Amino acid sequence: MTTPTQHSRGSGINFPYEGAIEMLAFIEAQKPIPMGGISGDETHIWDEDLKTIDKILSDDRFIDILYCSIRRNLSASTRRGRKRMALNRILRAGVLKHVKKLSFRDLFSDLKRNLDGRAFSQFFDEPVKSVASLSRNIAYVDAQALHEMNELLCKKARETGVIKGNVMRQDTTVCESNIHYPTDGSLLRDGVRVLQRLVKQAEDLVSTIPASRDRSRAATRRALEIVRSVGTKENNEQKQKAYGKLLRITRAVVTTAKRAVDKLADGRTTRHLNEKDRIAGGAVKDELETMVPRVEQLIRQTRNRVFRGITNSPNKLLSLFVPETFVICKGKAHKPNEFGRVVNIVETENGFVSDYQVLDGNPNDGKLLIPAIERHIEQFDRPPRLVATDRGFWSAANEKAAYELGVRRVSIPAKGKGSKMRLRIQRSRWFRKAQRWRANGEGRIGILKNNYGLDRCFYKGEKAMERWVGWCVFANNLVVTARLQRRWRQQENETDHQTEKHAYRKAA
């Protein structure tokens, strides 16, 4: 077993407290002999992509960003408490998870049995504690830190020549939330089930809360009755009756939950609890206070749709657990409605994603073009020579504003029937070539979804979608940068070999 040593202050990490280096350490573990510990070489990582990514992540500025993220979310952990997972291990474990598209359980198994994964994440022969430890520590990397790490990687890619910012293409896609298909009946049943479980926990903690009737099975029966009653007018009447019964059950459970909240908030009923039960009671009370308003919103929107015919409810709730979910209609025949968030993807050369945004609702694509060009100018200190998008981003005002910002060529097909001058522009060689390059962006979105998990977000909590999308984009950019650098090294080696071979023949 090797003994990890803490990184010195000379590493470039700005620790503001003396205790910070104790609680949040940067590990420089001694490599075991099978991983090149004596010779000091880099052959302990056999995967070519991971070996190059390992060199990219050796920049201490990534650790600085990660440390600031943990300090924002857990400021006390930098001064006191138990030692957490080392910063470099958190960063590399998160990268490994999304580069290989692993769940936390699969990541834990991979780190236990795969020497490449252990060497890349710098665990070496140190034990990996648990799945929960990996999940909890990676969750400390917030959305702001991921934006900053992507910007730093973009800067490094510019310095190494991977990207230059001469071209830009833009498109939007949907990252779905990890929820079931939302129907009023199923959502009400979920609300009854969740509130019933929390009320039961409160009853177990505080004996003065009277025992309540379990209505979960009754809610399930009414929800199944709603599913079966579809089709004819008589069945619609039966469905309305079943909805009325389900709403009465849900309102009764909400009333019981409010009483439990009042009891948990009353100091006279909780003063006999020990410290552990008091903390648990506070957690149950907070969760009830979160869930009760959401279930009441479900009751209102169901009553409006079923009995009043109002289908367009403002801020419609589609999930109790992921309330930041929107109905998105992208015009797909196989999937007319998607439930999640719209993601704005901006690419430059070689499939490198230079900018991304997670948007609320279902915004018009045309409003996203000019802000994206302005952010591109901030990143690269000059406008792109070429901008290519699909016709969803087109408007005469957008095209004019893009040219005014300094873009030389704007390749956006016009909507509707164009004039002769417009058709001549769209049939020109440069315009069609730019549109073919723009179409390749669909393939990059497919890679983000299939290889790095952008199709569905599995994180939970506040700003979970932003964190998930940030990790997917960061993993894509790392792999793109690593493969280009490796290809250039191979070409240089082949050129050097050919030069030596030619010199040898000439000398002979």
Q: 108-167 pLDDT, tens per residue?
A: 999 988 888 888 988 887 888 899 999 999 998 999 999 999 999 999 999 988 999 999
Who has greater pLDDT, 492 or 172?
A: 172
pLDDT of residue 82: 62
Region 240-246 average pLDDT: 91
**pLDDT higher than 50, residue 468:** yes
Task: Give CA torsion, residues 462, 464, 465, 466, to 10 deg.
Answer: 80
End-to-end CA distance of the chain: 55
The closest of 423, 441, 428, 449 to 387, measured between CA atoms, is 441
Region 204-223 average pLDDT: 89
CA 496/CA 484 separation, integer angstroms: 18
| Domain limits, the chain | 9-141, 162-179+325-469, 184-308
Q: Which residues are CB-contacts of 141 (< 8 A; sequence separation ≥ 6)? A: 66, 69, 90, 91, 94, 467, 471
Mean pLDDT (the chain) is 85
**pLDDT higher than 70, residue 266:** yes
Within 10 A of 375 (CB to CB), how many other CB atoms are there? 14
Q: 295-325 pLDDT, tens per residue?
A: 999 999 999 988 888 888 778 899 999 999 9
pLDDT of residue 506: 62
- Looking at 27-36, 149-158, 330-339, 420-429, which range is the least confident one? 27-36
Q: 54-111 pLDDT, tens per residue?
A: 999 989 899 999 988 888 887 666 566 566 788 899 999 999 999 999 999 999 999 9
DSSP 464: H
CA atoms within 13 A on the CB side of 444: 26
Cα-based distances in Å from 184 to 63, 193, 256:
46, 14, 21
Could you tell me the two tokens for 26? 């940067």
pLDDT of residue 478: 95
CA 194/CA 209 separation, integer angstroms: 18
In this structure, are residues 191 and 228 in contact, taking their beta carbons and an 8 Å threshold? Answer: no
Region 440-467 average pLDDT: 92
Q: 5-24 pLDDT, tens per residue?
A: 344 333 444 444 333 444 45
Could you tell me the two tokens for 48? 């070519």
As a whole-number percent, the residues of the chain with pLDDT over 90 amount to 56
| Residue 31 Rama label (left phi>0; alpha psi -120 to 50; beta) | beta
Region 165-193 average pLDDT: 94
The closest of 328, 354, 353, 331 to 341, measured between CA atoms, is 328
The CATH number fitting domain 162-179+325-469, selected from 3.90.420.10, 3.30.420.10, 3.90.1820.10, 3.40.50.1100:
3.30.420.10
pLDDT of residue 2: 39
